[in-house]
Structure 1
Amino acid sequence: MTILIDRNSSRASAKVEAQVFYFYMALSCMAVAFLGFAPTYWVPMAKGSLSSAPVVHLHGLLFFAWTLYFVFQSWLAASGRIARHRSVGMIGVSLATAMTIMGFLAAVNTMKRSAAAGLADDGIAFAIVPLSGILFFAVVFALAIINVRNREAHKRLMLLASISILDAAVARWFLTFLAPPGPAGPPPVPVTIAPALVAYLLLVAAIVFDWRTRGRPHPVYLYGGAALVAVKLLNWPISTTTAWHSLAGGILALAQ
């Protein structure tokens, strides 16, 4: 009887630890998003020196709102308010849908600005970064909704989706402090890889936590993480192909 009680107590403790861990991971995602965009968005906006198209502001608002929503949902789950967590889930569906649409529009806006500056080819090549990123987010989020009754898969898919959109925030610090001086324009696709790998360290932390608590990483992290890294690495060679330039160039032509 004592052994059974100890086992049940251990399982309950592990469950609480996992719930708190995902809450702190959500807080980490929010912190990365806020601090990442601080030098190029939040601080200039506070000073009144930021000049951006409305689509950029709406895009930023929605994506940062996602991190706040993710923190709130993680807090509800960690505090045991599962019914409330599920009822608020519909907000997440609407928010993720809006993010997908605005992510696409923001990528098109970047291509249009690049074309206006005489850098159409550079803008078309770079467009694969935000477009593949928002597509990956949308697919993983959809899988999280499909697996809503599978708590172990659902929470990991939600974390994977949130981590997948943090590379842009980390990249702002690279561009602010490491980019060489030169004319404004979209950065080369290869330089987006390093910031992404830094952002993905949060995924490494989640894998380590799984290893410590489960004895092995969850398949979501293994397959989803591998897909995330593969998409990021494949952006570079695909962005140079004629097929991509035809596809993205066609989107740009329709938008003009």
Structure 2
Amino acid sequence: MTAINAADSVGDRSRWFYAWMAMACLAIAVVGFVPTYFVPLTRGAAFSPPFQHIHGLLFFGWMIFFCTQTWLVATGRAQAHRDWGMLGVALATAMVASVFVIVGIRINAYANPEFAAGMRAFSWVQVSGMIFFGSVVALAIANVKKPDIHKRLMLLATIGLLDAPIARWFLVAMGGLPPAVNGEIPPPPVFVDLIPGALSVMFLLVPIIFDWRTRGRPHPVYMIGAGVLVAKYATLVQVSQLAAWDSAARWIAGLGG
């Protein structure tokens, strides 16, 4: 009975751990996007193409959805969690598609050829993030009947999104966007995502340590996922400068006319 009670205790701790990790991811997104997007939006100062707002709604919706799903499991409503699963599939698919649309819109928005080239390079930050997110969510769906793997993949996919809101922290600290040049704001250099990316990878240490304490060892999902993320950020600048990526970004931009 002692062993059974101990296993139940670990299971309860694990369910609530993932609920609180989801809330932490949401909090990071709120801290990043409320002052830089939502507050300006309420003041009528967030002038963006209409699809930009749809894109933002999808990503913020994912954070809320992920929190809701983990909360359902933590409170013993696993069937409701499964019932809402298809919404997550649809939402993740729409998120990936929206990034390609946004990339095309942003590249085509520049009249200055130098700025357009810079945005094509920077778009690798967004596209590589979606390749990671989409691939991990697909693996999570494939492992939906293996809860220990599924829940870790879903958390890994969500942590992979955190470089964007973390980057907004630095944007606020630096006083906002750079001044416009001939009416156009220069695109950010690719290297600005390296520190936010490193911080998001470091956030993975929390579930890794939790696994170490509850399982005796880190789960392979986190170790492999951390390795892939480190490789992604380590090669971010180099890949963004490749002629092959520039051609791919031009193709994406061409989809938007």
TM-score (norm: length of structure 1): 0.94
Map residues 97-176 of structure 1 onto 2, 5 A cutoff.
Answer: 97-113=93-109, 115-118=110-113, 119-176=115-172
Distance 1:104 1:250, change over 3 A: closer
Instruction: Find 2:73's aligned residue among 46, 69, 77.
Output: 77
Match of 1:242 in 2: 243
Post-superposition Cα deviations, 1:126-168, rounded to whole Å, max 9, x if no partner, equal 0100011111111100000000011110000000011111111
Task: Confirm or deny: 8 A CA contact 1:157 1:220 kept in the other structure.
Answer: yes
Post-superposition Cα deviations, 1:39-81, rounded to whole Å, max 9, x if no partner, equal 2101101222111111110000000000000000001111111
Match of 1:9 in 2: 5
User: What SS is found at the alignment partner of 1:173?
Assistant: helix
* AA at the equivalent of 2:221: V
User: What SS is found at the alignment partner of 2:61?
Assistant: helix
* AA at the equivalent of 2:18: Y
- Whole-Å Cα distance in 2 between the matches of residues 254 and 31 of structure 1? 34
Structure 2 gap segments, 5+ residues each: none
* AA at the equivalent of 2:101: L
* AA at the equivalent of 2:208: I
Task: Confirm or deny: 8 A CA contact 1:108 1:127 kept in the other structure.
Answer: no
Q: CA RMSD in A?
A: 1.4
Match of 1:202 in 2: 203
Cα deviation, residue 181, structure 1: 4.4
Task: Confirm or deny: 8 A CA contact 1:39 1:173 kept in the other structure.
Answer: no
Match of 2:23 in 1: 27
Cα deviation, residue 185, structure 1: 2.0
Task: Confirm or deny: 8 A CA contact 1:23 1:75 kept in the other structure.
Answer: yes
- Whole-Å Cα distance in 2 between the matches of residues 23 and 158 of structure 1? 12
Structure 1 gap segments, 5+ residues each: none
- Whole-Å Cα distance in 2 between the matches of residues 220 and 196 of structure 1? 18
Q: How many residue pairs were aligned?
A: 251
User: What SS is found at the alignment partner of 1:127?
Assistant: helix
Cα deviation, residue 30, structure 1: 0.7
Match of 1:185 in 2: 186
Q: Does 1:212 align with 2:213?
A: yes
Cα deviation, residue 38, structure 1: 1.6
Task: Confirm or deny: 8 A CA contact 1:147 1:153 kept in the other structure.
Answer: yes
Task: Confirm or deny: 8 A CA contact 2:140 2:150 kept in the other structure.
Answer: yes
- Whole-Å Cα distance in 2 between the matches of residues 240 and 91 of structure 1? 36
* AA at the equivalent of 1:240: Q
- Whole-Å Cα distance in 2 between the matches of residues 181 and 88 of structure 1? 42
Q: Does 1:93 align with 2:94?
A: no
Task: Confirm or deny: 8 A CA contact 1:104 1:134 kept in the other structure.
Answer: no
Distance 1:14 1:90, change over 3 A: same
Cα deviation, residue 232, structure 1: 2.1
More divergent stretch after superposition (36-45 vs 197-206): 197-206
TM-score (norm: length of structure 2): 0.93
